Structures are given as structure tokens and as C-alpha cells.
Amino acid sequence: MIRNFSDYLQNFSFHEIYQKIQDINSNPNSYKKIEQILYDIQNEEKPTWEEFLYLISKPALSYLEDLAQIAYKITRKRFGNAILLYSPLYLSNECKSICTYCGFRYDNQIKRKTLTIEEAFQEAMILHKQGIRHILLLTGEDYRNTSVSYLSQITETLQQYFSSIGIEVYPLREEEYRFLRTKGVDSLTIYQETYDPIRYKEVHLQGVKKRMNFRLDCPDRAGRAELRKIGIGALLGLSDPQTEVAMVALHAQYLQKKYWKTHITISLPRLRPAENVFNIPKVSDHLYSLFFIAIRIFLPDVGLVLSTRESPHFRDGMIPICITQISAGSRTEPGGYSGYDSTEQFKIEDNRSISEIVEMLKKKQLDPVFTDWVYAVK
Ligand code: SF4
């Protein structure tokens, strides 16, 4: 019986999928196949996951414009002009894990800080004053300093001010997700970072994060706990990006089928410079755009999230095509909104204020939405 995505993955091998995509990339017949898929999509046929592999292949870049137009139409039809705005609130940069790509890693000598409940409240209110009603709480992997009880006290304090409180914290057990749901948490973001088991081992050197399947099955535990929204993704730059995107799409499709009441979102953060993180592999803007566009076509109902990791130029071009949710005015260090002295997780590229983002959206005839759709304004 398939209880978790890790069971489901027994039938798929990262390496085999990688090989399949390489074959599509180099086969001259792929162009013909993509044209056939395009024709079918225009005749309302949904692509299969095997066909999706063609849509994220290098030959598909020759059809980027056609694919973008299809993605645009699907997005407007399913989501109208709404773009949901949210802001991250880093509660802590303390972490017991060592991930080679992250500024918060345990062995980095950085300025550490965990906000008190009062400080977290003040930070949240700064965002609230600017109109934000959808907040994402983040921590490192420090189960003691940022315990479930600590998180629950914060969410209980904030729930009357925010229509949606999400968490992007260390992996929890199903009953802990259930408990936090009763304290106001309605969504979970958890990126697998990499679906490549060999790379996963290489980049996760210490801590709970070393347990790949415990992380992989987090969205299942949150789904069983009936969280309203679950966000997944991969950190592009750790392994082969096309194969990572193929896995993310497979994972999202699995979650959509299994937890049909839960809204699934996808984000594809690209690796960014951070404290002691160098040699960032480049995923080209072209290929990166293709990934979002192809996902929109393959999974028309998933939310697509684009954060302030990306440049204003890239975000402004991409948002109207297929994005449904963006962060705004972000700081990635605990206490960043109040001006505390602590180290950020990574450098952001889009430093515009929330009001500047709102202006930009309006100019593009998009509707900035502050309140998550399902809940009434508080
Ligand atoms: S990615 Fe998360 S778990 Fe890994 S070092 Fe950074 S904060 Fe810690």
C-alpha cells in the first residue's frame, strides 16, 4: 500500500529519469514530438507526465513563446488576474543541521538570533501595517530553541491579525501538524531541496535533515493532518535542474490526487549566494521560465510561487504569464523588519517595497490580493 511519496517513488529512479531527459535533449525527433504535444494541448488534451518531460527539455525552448501563450490562457482561466502577496517572517537563524548551500548552517560563525514571542509579534505587525495578511513563519532546524510549543504560542498570538499563517520550519510529525492547525497554521512549505539521493547525501552533512525520506514524506503527513495548503519545490542548482523539476511535478501530481482538498503550490528557488556559499551553478533564465510554463500546462490547478530571490526584471516578466503567488518586501534574517543585527539566510534580488510591488502589479492589470482566498478578512 502506498502511504507516502517515498513508497510511490520506489517505481522511479532519479538516475533513470535523468537519462530519459538527456535522451530527449539530444534526440532530433524530439522537436516533432513536442509539436504533436502542442497540437494535442491546443485540442484540450492534457499532457501526461512522460510528455511533460518533453516540455521541460532543451528542444522545447524553441517553442517557448507558444507554450507561454498557452500557460497565460490557462492561468487567467483558472486564477483570474489575482496575485496573492505574502511576506516571510524569519523567527530564528539557529540551526543544528549542516547543509552546504545555506548561510544558517550550524558550523557558520554568524550572528544568531531567535525572536521572543513579543519580538515576533512586533515584526508581524510591521508587515500587517503594510497590508500583509498572509505570513510565512520560518526557522532553521533547531527543535529545542524553536519548539512546537514556541511556534504555537506565536501563531496563537498572530491568528487574529492574519488570514493565513504558513510555516516553513523543520519537518514535524503528523500529530504536530494537526496540533499547529488548531493554533492557526493553515499551510506548510517544505522544499525537498534535491530529489537526487546521491546529491542529497553530499549536501546534507549533519542534523535531522540528513533523513531524506523523513523530509520527502512531510507533505503526506501535512496532507493527512488536513492543512489547507502545501507548498513543495526543489532548490535548483544542487543537481540536474530538469530532473529536479520532473520530480517536483511528479510529487505535486501525486499530492493533488491523494489530498484533493488541499491546494498544492510549487516553487523552484534557484540557489543564491549566502555566508560561505560560493560557486553557484547557473540555471539560465530561459530554461527557468520554461519550467514554470510547462508546470502550468501540466498541472493547471497548482499555485506557482515566485519569491524575491529573483530579480525585479525576471519577476515582472514572469508573473503575468503563470505565477499566482509572490513574496514582497522580504527580509531573510530574524528581526530584519525591525532592524535587529542578525545574519540573513541568503541574499534577495528584488528589494522593492510592498507598495512598489502593488504598483507594478496594477500596471500589469493584475490584482494584488492580500487575503488568502478561502478566508474572510480579519
Ligand atoms: S537549509 Fe535549513 S536545515 Fe539546512 S542549514 Fe539552512 S536552516 Fe539549517
pLDDT in tens, 152-206: 999 999 999 999 999 999 999 999 999 999 999 999 999 999 999 999 999 999 9
Phi, then psi, of 173 in degrees rounded to 5: -85, 165
104 lines ligand 1 (CB under 6 A): yes
334 lines ligand 1 (CB under 6 A): no
How far is ligand 1, taken at its centre, from the CA of residue 103, in Å? 8
Q: Which atom of ligand 1 is nearest to the CA of 96?
A: 8
Position 376 pLDDT exceeds 60: no
Choose the residue to mutate in 90, 93, 94, 99 for probing ligand 1, maximizing ligand atoms within 8 Å of C-beta.
Answer: 99
* % of the chain exceeding 90 in pLDDT: 92
CA–CA distance, 237 with 281 (Å, rounded to integer): 5
134 lines ligand 1 (CB under 6 A): no
pLDDT tens-digit series, residues 43-79: 999 999 999 999 999 999 999 999 999 999 999 999 9
List Cβ neighbours of 2 (8 Å cut-off, separation of 6 or more): 8
Grid coordinates given for 174? 503528523
- Lowest mean pLDDT of 41-50, 84-93, 143-152, 275-284, name the range: 275-284
How far is ligand 1, taken at its centre, from the CA of residue 95, in Å? 6
Question: Three-class SS of residue 232?
Answer: strand
Q: Which atom of ligand 1 is nearest to the CA of 141?
A: 3
Q: Which atom of ligand 1 is nearest to the CA of 93?
A: 7
140 lines ligand 1 (CB under 6 A): yes
Question: Three-class SS of residue 235?
Answer: coil
How far is ligand 1, taken at its centre, from the CA of residue 55, in Å? 32
CATH for 5-13+81-369 (3.20.20.70, 1.10.8.80, 1.10.357.10, 3.40.50.300)? 3.20.20.70
18 lines ligand 1 (CB under 6 A): no
277 lines ligand 1 (CB under 6 A): no
How far is ligand 1, taken at its centre, from the CA of residue 152, in Å? 21
Arithmetic mean of pLDDT, 128-134: 96
Instruction: Give the helix/strand (H/E) hosting 182.
Output: helix 174-182
pLDDT tens-digit series, residues 261-308: 999 999 999 998 888 887 788 899 999 999 999 999 999 999 999 999
Q: Which residue, 289, 79, 84, 117, is CA-closest to 187?
A: 84
The whole-number pLDDT of residue 247 equals: 98
Query: Which residue minimizes the CA distance to atom 4 of ligand 1?
Result: 99
Phi, then psi, of 179 in degrees rounded to 5: -60, -45
Measuring CA to CA, how many Å separate 79 from each of 46, 299, 370, 373?
18, 13, 15, 11
- Lowest mean pLDDT of 27-36, 72-81, 331-340, name the range: 331-340
Largest CA distance in the chain: 61
